[in-house]
Structure 1
């Protein structure tokens, strides 16, 4: 489904949007709930990724000694977390697979680490990539090391199963650590259910926790999904306001850095007493600002949104710390370069950076390829406030934000099938 998108004549300047729970928190907690069944969750994400995670965990209860195929489709987080989860399911055997793109996304570093701990995992097709065959067993080793600059999902996958290892886990990270907020999120959620952890320097220790107490855990709404509303407000007139629910001032999510970053673009955030936030366009962005600079190694998922926002405002940008974007749903750096160039952008990328030159070029009626990547669709959507655009394969948003187009329509955007 391709969507034609443009600013509606009756576009609202104020509105409220309910955003469901963080995909990152939800998928961590779903796994912990499977390990500790007396946990109860609320405000979980309704994203495709979380649905894939939940379905795989439900299917795991049916797995016997005969191997079963578990397909997570495009859900990268589920692939990494479930690789660790199934490695400790004694007596169960699964083949974990996904979409054609998933079969191109590396998993060797995580598999090697788990095998170091005593797991039994092998490759079904290409060495280092899914699908993988996992024979669950009791893991007794408790020391492992990983390169520190890998995807934090590899690290979190190990941390999440660590409390169920009889000796816990001592994880050494070699080099400069990437995406620290996501590691800290995992540790904070472990602490919340009663697991003792320490994170000092490049060493993480997680103690064993055979059982946990019954408790209710509420998932905070997703900051990555909020990023598109920050972009919409930034590209709108002064006075535009959107209230989003429900968020914490002391969020565990790295993407909450939006609050500070978008001040550069005239957007202010108010934390309300009911746990909602109101984001508002208070002023035109600083006229002296010709180039926005951000180091995003701790929150790379908002790079696409920031890049498109800067281009829509006629501001240059230089974003760094983006090396993990090369192995996402698509190579997001090359995809951004290709699609922004269609609008007339002068853009260059390296293995870990993105640079857009300041320009007022903005070609209308461009058709945006989404590369089976939900963030490409949603990051580009706010440009419809400036010129009419077409979003190809618009249904990809269901991966993380299924109601995105409906929410845009409620705010006065015109969205119709092309």
Structure 2
């Protein structure tokens, strides 16, 4: 990986100086828009999709904190994973990339560059997982900065918990948000009480630091854990890298013993959130799509999107490592649904994008927190649907989308990968769509539009320097 990639022309140093989330792994840099054409024929394909962002960044960080060599295959090459890798290199870890395979010579508790300045772009998982690992590791004073977008997403619950465990973490700019200054060997560990109602990533950030803290960590949840699956994914990955963990069934009490991480070789599965867009294409075109590299054995909650598609009249075939969705003839979906999307909130916009093609309203509830993601996803999606002629009722915690035949539109993506990909699906099933600043898909799926074109969908403008 070099500072400048000849395909994209993105200079990492310049991106950092400008507070950008772009990276040398970005796609569509300098491309002002992409046109997605309507597609009337059934989409039929077997497809392997890029690796899971959630698993990729968890595995990268555990491997870098292990004392020895790990090999990760199926890694997601995206903006978020680029900046995670780059931060680990700046700390002194040796990371060799070959396509989607990473060989990592981990650091254990060593910090060869004790004054490292780290930049994580817009990588939310890295922002929440790395501070505790820095505070619990070897001596040093580290600076962790992020993109303009990420600086606007406070980390208060995480920082409060880490400070209660002894972590010396200060915020010289915005309170409780990057940039952060972190003192190594400051995280003593021990018991800590946390709310789980805001973000599971805050809990994961404390847990991942546990094996390296002097006294481990004992996390007590004071209310409930939102999206418990992601915490379970964290615990699974930690155990894969040799951590000793205990947790009750509700994840209300979790213990992590001190002792560090051991190297491991890990094959990463596809990203279930990315899979929702391709499975949705089967639903709205009356086609059949098989995703060949993620199935019911996964911990990723967004794969439960197939349960919703089944309720909407699709035929679903489930296997441990693959899933198939067959849409009803001509994409005539069943509506009249009321769906709690909290457990799989990243799939909210996918459901909203196919809801106009149902024969009755689709009500989405319990996702107020997605207003504070890369964009106000509820507000943005409701505005987009209205612009395209789809009646929609906006609520604080969701929306109700009514049946309609969407018109063509020119749509802002709001620097939000999920907005861009969801609206692309809507355009395929509707009258087409022009998406402005489409490169935001690089956060989780840089080849998205290339994959879409490979299915026979008309995609124009997806090239640039």
TM over 0.5: yes
Q: In the TM superposition, what are the counterparts of 1:407-418 in structure 2 within 5 Å?
A: 407-417=451-461
Q: Which position in structure 2 is the counterpart of 1:60?
A: 91
Q: Which position in structure 2 is the counterpart of 1:16?
A: 46
In the aligned structure 2, how far is the partner of 1:296 from the partner of 1:118? 36
In the aligned structure 1, how far is the partner of 2:185 from the partner of 2:396? 38
1:383 counterpart = 2:432: no
CA offset digits 1:247-272 (Å, max 9, x no partner):
13221111111121110223233245
Which of 213, 222, 230 is equivalent to 1:165? Answer: 213
Root mean square deviation, CA, Å: 2.2
Stretch deviating more after TM superposition (327-336 or 339-348) = 339-348
Q: In the TM superposition, what are the counterparts of 1:60-139 in structure 2 within 5 Å?
A: 60-61=91-92, 67-139=115-187
Q: Contact (CA 8 Å) 1:330, 1:372: kept in 2 or not?
A: yes
Q: Contact (CA 8 Å) 1:267, 1:283: kept in 2 or not?
A: no
In 2 relative to 1, CA 178–415 (structure 1 residues): closer, same or farther, beyond 3 Å? Answer: same
Q: Contact (CA 8 Å) 2:269, 2:294: kept in 1 or not?
A: yes
In the aligned structure 1, how far is the partner of 2:63 from the partner of 2:305? 30
In 2 relative to 1, CA 286–207 (structure 1 residues): closer, same or farther, beyond 3 Å? Answer: farther
CA offset digits 1:375-418 (Å, max 9, x no partner):
00001111222212111111111110111101111111111129
In 2 relative to 1, CA 129–348 (structure 1 residues): closer, same or farther, beyond 3 Å? Answer: farther
CA offset digits 1:37-66 (Å, max 9, x no partner):
343211111121112111111111187676
In the aligned structure 1, how far is the partner of 2:257 from the partner of 2:358? 49
**SS of equivalent residue, structure 1 residue 293:** strand
In the aligned structure 2, how far is the partner of 1:351 from the partner of 1:34? 40
Q: Contact (CA 8 Å) 1:291, 1:315: kept in 2 or not?
A: yes
Deviation at 1:319, TM superposition (A): 1.5
In the aligned structure 1, how far is the partner of 2:357 from the partner of 2:117? 45
CA offset digits 1:319-360 (Å, max 9, x no partner):
22213212211111111121111112332333322222x232
Stretch deviating more after TM superposition (15-24 or 86-95) = 86-95
**SS of equivalent residue, structure 1 residue 134:** strand
Which of 368, 390, 395 is equivalent to 2:439? Answer: 395
**SS of equivalent residue, structure 2 residue 396:** coil
Deviation at 1:245, TM superposition (A): 2.4
In the aligned structure 1, how far is the partner of 2:237 from the partner of 2:284? 35
Q: Which position in structure 1 is the counterpart of 2:243?
A: 195
Deviation at 1:154, TM superposition (A): 0.7
CA offset digits 1:111-152 (Å, max 9, x no partner):
111111111111121112211111212422311111120111
Q: Contact (CA 8 Å) 2:43, 2:281: kept in 1 or not?
A: no
Q: Contact (CA 8 Å) 1:56, 1:71: kept in 2 or not?
A: yes
**SS of equivalent residue, structure 2 residue 221:** strand
**SS of equivalent residue, structure 1 residue 101:** helix
Q: In the TM superposition, what are the counterparts of 1:298-313 in structure 2 within 5 Å?
A: 298-313=343-358
In the aligned structure 2, how far is the partner of 1:12 from the partner of 1:347? 27
**SS of equivalent residue, structure 2 residue 259:** coil
Deviation at 1:108, TM superposition (A): 1.4
What TM-score results when the alignment is normalised by the length of structure 1? Answer: 0.92
CA offset digits 1:64-117 (Å, max 9, x no partner):
676443221111111111222222232222221212111110111111111111
In the aligned structure 1, how far is the partner of 2:153 from the partner of 2:260? 33
In the aligned structure 1, how far is the partner of 2:388 from the partner of 2:360? 14
In the aligned structure 2, how far is the partner of 1:188 from the partner of 1:285? 38
Q: Which position in structure 2 is the counterpart of 1:249?
A: 296
CA offset digits 1:226-256 (Å, max 9, x no partner):
000121111102xx11222211322111111
Q: Which position in structure 2 is the counterpart of 1:276?
A: 322
Q: Contact (CA 8 Å) 1:64, 1:92: kept in 2 or not?
A: no
Q: Which position in structure 1 is the counterpart of 2:254?
A: 204
Deviation at 1:211, TM superposition (A): 4.7
In 2 relative to 1, CA 64–33 (structure 1 residues): closer, same or farther, beyond 3 Å? Answer: closer
Q: Which runs of 5+ in 2 are unaligned?
A: 1-31, 94-110
Q: Contact (CA 8 Å) 2:42, 2:288: kept in 1 or not?
A: no
Deviation at 1:180, TM superposition (A): 0.7
Which of 312, 334, 340 is equivalent to 1:265? Answer: 312
Which of 397, 400, 410 is equivalent to 1:355? Answer: 400
1:365 counterpart = 2:396: no
In the aligned structure 2, how far is the partner of 1:69 from the partner of 1:324? 31
What TM-score results when the alignment is normalised by the length of structure 2? Answer: 0.83
Q: Contact (CA 8 Å) 2:275, 2:291: kept in 1 or not?
A: yes
